Amino acid sequence: MREIIKKATREAYGDTLVELGKEHKEIVVLDADLAGATKSGNFKKVFPLRFFDCGIAEGNMMSVAAGLAAAGKVPFASSFAMFASGRAFEQVRNSIGYPGLHVIIGASHAGLSVGEDGATHQCLEDFALMAAIPGMTVLSPSDYYQTVNAVKAAYEMEGPVYIRLCRMANETFHNDENETFEVGKGIVLREGRDVTLVATGLLVAETLKAADLLAEEGVSARVIEMPTIKPLDLPLLQAAAKETKGLVTVEDHFAGCGMGAMIAAALAETTPARVIKVGVQDKFGQSGSPMDLFEAYGMTAPHIKEKAMLLMAE
């Protein structure tokens, strides 16, 4: 087992870029004046000639990355999730997505957990935007070690990949050094027969706590982690829909258009199930510490437990 550490997923992105860069000369890294924050700057220090700071021009950066990919490079384009998926949406769609180019977008500072910077920087719609693009793979790893594996898996894939990363340091729980990352596969973190909790990213840890709270009430909660938002691991979800009373989905994203909404929509076609979505309801974020925000927006363990109890009462 590896040591439990408290480190942000963006740190894993920067460290892994350096590791991959040593082996693969065709890897290039781009950023838009946020190299220190996205941790792409780690790569810049080691490989300055393979690093391009495009300045504060994210749309251009995405199309430049497409051109680099078309000429045989494997670009990692880095920015905050807000600008990578939001401002540069159409460049990602048309320059990268439509030609199916192998560009990996490292999008840090996603979600409410950006914290104090407030609503303009809290991207709560990147899953919706990126998953809408045909052929785009959307990854949302939850801790440092899983992110290392996710970044490596993204490099090995074909086509465009979006990796959601977070600012906040969190404790690792994927500490088994033999663990691999399978794109498109969910992970059953805890078996359970009464209800299913499905979580992604930073809120996986909170969801495990909710499962503990439910156990205290005598409720057996299955906990599924979804490190891949697209493509969804439908068989795993269908089994949960059949075998438990319903699903509570948990994500640091708008509840109406994120992972939970995609799961509910997918299950509705084959295995109708009750799905209660924990996430940011239809309002913007605000300044505050990440944990205070999760509490204020109803996304902590007691809130998750409460939603699961609603399913139990039915």
Partner 1 sequence: MLNPNLKKQLEVISTKLRMEIMNEVHAAKCGHPGGSLSIADLMTYLYFEAMDVDPSDPKKPDRDRFVLSKGHTCPALYAALAYRGFFPTQELIQLRKLGALLQGHPDMKSIPGVDMSTGSLGQGISTAVGMALAGKMDGALWDVYTVCGDGEIQEGQVWEAAMLAGHHNLEHLCVIVDNNGLQIDGAIEEVNSPYPIDKKFEAFGFYVQVIDGHNFEEIAEAINNFKANKGCPSAIIMKTVKGKGVSFMENQASWHGVAPNTEQYEAGMAELKAHLAELEN
Active-site position among 58, 206, 225, 251: 58
Q: Does 69 bind partner 1 (CB under 8 A)?
A: yes
Q: Does 72 bind partner 1 (CB under 8 A)?
A: yes
In this chain, which stretch among 65-73, 150-158, 230-238, 297-305 interacts with partner 1, using CB under 8 A? Answer: 65-73
Q: State the minimum distance, in angstroms, from the CB of residue 75 to partner 1.
A: 8
Collapse the DSSP code of 240 into the 3-class scheme (helix H, G, I; strand E, B; otherwise coil) and give the result.
helix
Q: What is the rounded distance in angstroms from the CA atom of residue 205 to the CA atom of residue 281?
A: 21
Nearest to 258 by CA among 82, 145, 111: 111
Contact between residue 24 and residue 155 where contact means Cβ atoms under 8 Å apart: yes
Q: Give the number of residues in contact with partner 1, rule: CB under 8 A.
A: 29
Q: Does 57 bind partner 1 (CB under 8 A)?
A: yes
CA angle 32, 37, 38 (to 5 degrees): 65
Q: Which amino acid is at 9?
A: T
Q: Sign of dihedral through CA atoms 32, 83, 118, 37?
A: negative
**In whole angstroms, how large is the CA radius of gyration of the chain?**
19
Q: Does 173 bind partner 1 (CB under 8 A)?
A: no
Q: Does 60 bind partner 1 (CB under 8 A)?
A: yes
Q: Does 47 bind partner 1 (CB under 8 A)?
A: no
Using CB under 8 A as the criterion, what x/- string covers residues 6-45 for binding partner 1? ----------------------x-----------------
Q: State the minimum distance, in angstroms, from the CB of residue 45 to partner 1.
A: 18
Q: Does 185 bind partner 1 (CB under 8 A)?
A: no
Catalytic, 125? Answer no
Give the other-Cβ count within 10 Å of 176's Cβ. Answer: 10
Kindly state the helix (H) or strand (E) to which residue 128 belongs, with its residue range: helix 126-131
Nearer to partner 1, 90 or 116 (CB): 90
Contact between residue 239 and residue 193 where contact means Cβ atoms under 8 Å apart: no
**Exposure of 266 by Cβ count < 10 A (0-12 exposed, 13-18 middle, 19+ buried)?**
middle
Task: List the one residue from 52, 80, 155, 254 that touches partner 1 (CB under 8 A).
Answer: 52
Residues interacting with partner 1, by CB under 8 A? 28, 49-50, 52, 54-55, 57, 59-60, 62-73, 75, 90-91, 94-95, 98-100
Point out the residues that are catalytic: 58
